[in-house]
């Protein structure tokens, strides 16, 4: 009987020893890739998220840090353009949805996740909050960064990688101002001399974008001339030109163009439309108007 008791005790001790586990943490779901989609340099900030999950053996403490990426900086991170010439697009990764706490490794004012596991709380499911600020001035292209997410539990680490991607498409905006010829005097001042005036068309585009500006013939085109019309139904022939010498008529064929150096600066400092009402046109007094459509191709 004594020999049986000793054998039974040894078996119990062996079973108990087999239930002891080393402290560790493991990924259940590695951080998913972040895709900001198409970013507009004229638009607002763009958020995106990455989800993940890991489990730790209690009482292991899991620490999750994120690398700086290609920028080698946390303030801010940036995505390099995948094609030449080189360009970068700023973004950052945060611990909170308000985008106030930069997720890093604890340096440069950043913070990282600390998860003390317990028997009743072994698994952490979380979110990495990405954000691209509005108003960035960058050229078209695809931008990508690679971030290392390191899960550290003190006696070991498990590092995984995820990508951050965004695309910028070429786009332009245009602003115009009324071309005002002022008073036209067909009896005296403009009997022989034309009436000239100018207006500036401002075209803003993504950096490196080539834009071509065309004008239509207005609402009253006839006989090769644009015309402004009065409320009485009278017309004054006029024309718009690309040059101060009034030699190149600006239309859908003879266009003006330029390449953007910054979305903040109008291309070529603005495109000047040189207007001219031809002299000696005998019409009744009144207010004359026309509408010309500006088309920007890029």
Q: Work out the mean pLDDT of the chain and round it to a whole number.
A: 94
pLDDT level of residue 21 (50, 70, 90 thresholds): low
Q: Mention every residue, 6+ apart, whose C-beta is less than 8 A from residue 295.
A: 213, 214, 215, 216, 252
Q: What percent of the chain has pLDDT over 90?
A: 92
> Is the pLDDT score of 17 beyond 90?
no
Model pLDDT for residues 178-218, shown as the tens digit of each residue? 999 999 999 999 999 999 999 999 999 999 999 999 999 99
Q: How far apart are CA 274 and CA 244, in angstroms?
A: 6
Pairing of the two strands 157-168 and 256-259? unpaired
Question: What b/e string do you get for 215-243 counting C-beta neighbours within 10 Å, with b at 16 or more?
Answer: bebbebeeeebbbbbeeeebbbbbbbbbe
Q: How far apart are CA 142 and CA 162, in angstroms?
A: 16
> Is the pLDDT score of 63 beyond 90?
yes
Model pLDDT for residues 29-42, shown as the tens digit of each residue? 999 999 999 999 99
Eight-state DSSP code of residue 187: T
> Is the pLDDT score of 126 beyond 50?
yes
For residue 20, the model assigns a pLDDT of 45
Pairing of the two strands 157-168 and 34-39? parallel
Residue 296: name the closest of 261, 266, 265 by CA: 266
Q: Which residue ranges form the domains of the chain, and what is each CATH number?
A: 21-168 (2.60.40.2040), 172-297 (2.60.40.1090)
N- to C-terminal Cα distance for the chain? Answer: 96
pLDDT level of residue 9 (50, 70, 90 thresholds): very low
Query: Is residue 216 within 8 Å of residue 295, measured between CB atoms?
Result: yes
- Kindly report whether the peptide bond that precedes residue 59 is cis, defined as omega within 30 degrees of 0: yes
> Is the pLDDT score of 18 beyond 60?
no
């Amino acid at each position: 009987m004594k020999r049986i008791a000793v054998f039974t005790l040894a078996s119990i001790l062996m079973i108990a020893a087999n239930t002891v586990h080393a402290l560790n943490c493991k990924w259940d779901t590695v951080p998913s890739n972040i895709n900001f989609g198409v970013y507009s340099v004229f638009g607002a900030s763009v958020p995106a998220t990455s989800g993940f999950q890991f489990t730790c053996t209690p009482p292991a403490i899991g620490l999750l840090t994120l690398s700086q990426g290609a920028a080698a900086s946390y303030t801010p991170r940036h995505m390099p353009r995948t094609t030449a010439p080189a360009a970068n697009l700023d973004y950052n990764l945060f611990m909170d949805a308000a985008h106030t706490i930069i997720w890093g490794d604890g340096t440069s004012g950043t913070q990282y996740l600390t998860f003390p596991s317990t028997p009743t709380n072994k698994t952490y499911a979380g979110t990495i909050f990405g954000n691209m600020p509005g108003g960035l001035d960058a050229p078209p292209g695809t931008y990508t960064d690679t971030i290392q997410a390191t899960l550290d539990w003190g006696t070991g680490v498990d590092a995984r990688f995820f990508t951050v991607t965004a695309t910028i498409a070429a786009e332009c905006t245009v602003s115009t101002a009324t071309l005002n010829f002022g008073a036209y005097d067909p009896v005296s001042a403009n009997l022989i001399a034309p009436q000239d005036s100018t207006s500036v068309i401002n075209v803003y585009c993504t950096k490196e974008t080539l834009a071509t500006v065309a004008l239509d013939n207005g609402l009253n085109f006839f006989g090769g001339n644009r015309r402004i019309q009065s409320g009485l139904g009278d017309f004054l022939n006029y024309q718009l030109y690309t040059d101060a010498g009034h030699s190149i008529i600006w239309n859908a064929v003879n266009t003006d163009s330029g390449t953007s150096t910054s979305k903040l600066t109008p291309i070529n400092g603005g495109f000047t439309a040189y207007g001219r009402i031809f002299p000696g046109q005998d019409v009744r007094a009144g207010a004359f108007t026309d509408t010309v459509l500006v088309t920007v191709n890029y």
